[in-house]
Amino acid sequence: MIQIKLRSFDLVLSGCSLGRQVRTRVEVVGTHMRKSSKWSTDPDAERQREDLDWKKGEEAMVNKGGHELLEILNVRVIGEGDKPVVLSHGLGTDQSAWQRMVPYLTRDYRVVLYDLACAGSVDPDHFDFQRYATLDGFVDDLFDILDALGIESCAFIGHSISAMAGILAAARRPQQFSKLVLLGASPRYINDTDYDGGFEGDDLEAVYEAMHENYYDWVMGFAPRLVGVDMPEAVQEFCRTLFNMRPDISLFVTRMVARSDVRGILGMVSTPCCIIQGVKDSSVPISVAAYFEAHLGGRTTVELLQAEGHLPHLSAPAVLAPILRRALSQP
């Protein structure tokens, strides 16, 4: 149990080990909580805040070429192999989520790691609310990184939101992707006629409200559910990266992802694809893997991962690693 001083009061975190970077971010959350149990509910005030943040983000990105973006998004290239493999993390994490996977890949591949613009490891002043109002902003970042690094063709491993972005990227630039490996992927999270996305719209509205009311409490309940197994170390790691995110950015991107729907794009994707689906994922029903297999335009294989939770790269790395290597080795 760790006790953290937040300005005029204390919060006690049970089962979540937080380092200095997280404490700093939690203090920001605590400041919001001390001033009000909610963020501003005045629509004009919220629009002014978002306009200001958008202007800051726009100014930060103006005239910045791909090479400066490499620094902003903390791009790293490691490994001894010649074949490039890009690892793109999911919402609520950062590139450190891949740390248990990287040793399995660096001997044979040149591994490219980066942080999404919404990650807590990226300066939030660089987050442009207009650019990232759709998945296209994250796709454009990926293209800018590949262009800056001179990568003409690569394999792409994307988790969750990054799986959706990878689908869009491969549809736009099929020649640049030799293989897609999609982990915990879904083309749409909300149920529709003859489609089980896993959530009803009302379910997600309750999630948004909980994030808005008290981000700290939401994280402490959400992280164990998404990890899905009794593994304190994985829960602690997920807590850390969730708390590192600025809460309004976290909510903004969560809403964007939830309303995204890339089902109409699947048939345009000719890149060979491997879908890695956990047998018990609270965010993605197992039927979604079959939907991908039936609708993707290229050769598609499905690997059912005998692990629980939405974050197997944190909670079951030894189970996931050989499947990743096998997926990358197959054409």
Active site residue 160: yes
Residues in Cβ contact with 176 at an 8 Å cutoff, skipping those fewer than 6 apart: 143, 146, 151, 152, 153, 154, 169, 170
Place of tokens 């956990």: 278
Q: Are 228 and 243 in contact (CB under 8 A)?
A: no
Distance CA 12, CA 2 (A): 6
CA torsion sign for 96, 312, 317, 290 is: negative
Question: Which of 88, 250, 281, 313 does the annotation list as catalytic?
Answer: 281
Q: Are 170 and 101 in contact (CB under 8 A)?
A: no
Question: Which of 160, 162, 178, 250 does the annotation list as catalytic?
Answer: 160
Question: Which of 115, 310, 313, 315 does the annotation list as catalytic?
Answer: 310
Q: Provide the pairing of β-strand 83-88 with 109-114.
A: parallel
> Three-state DSSP class for 6?
strand
Active site residue 310: yes
Which residues are known to be catalytic?
Answer: 160, 281, 310
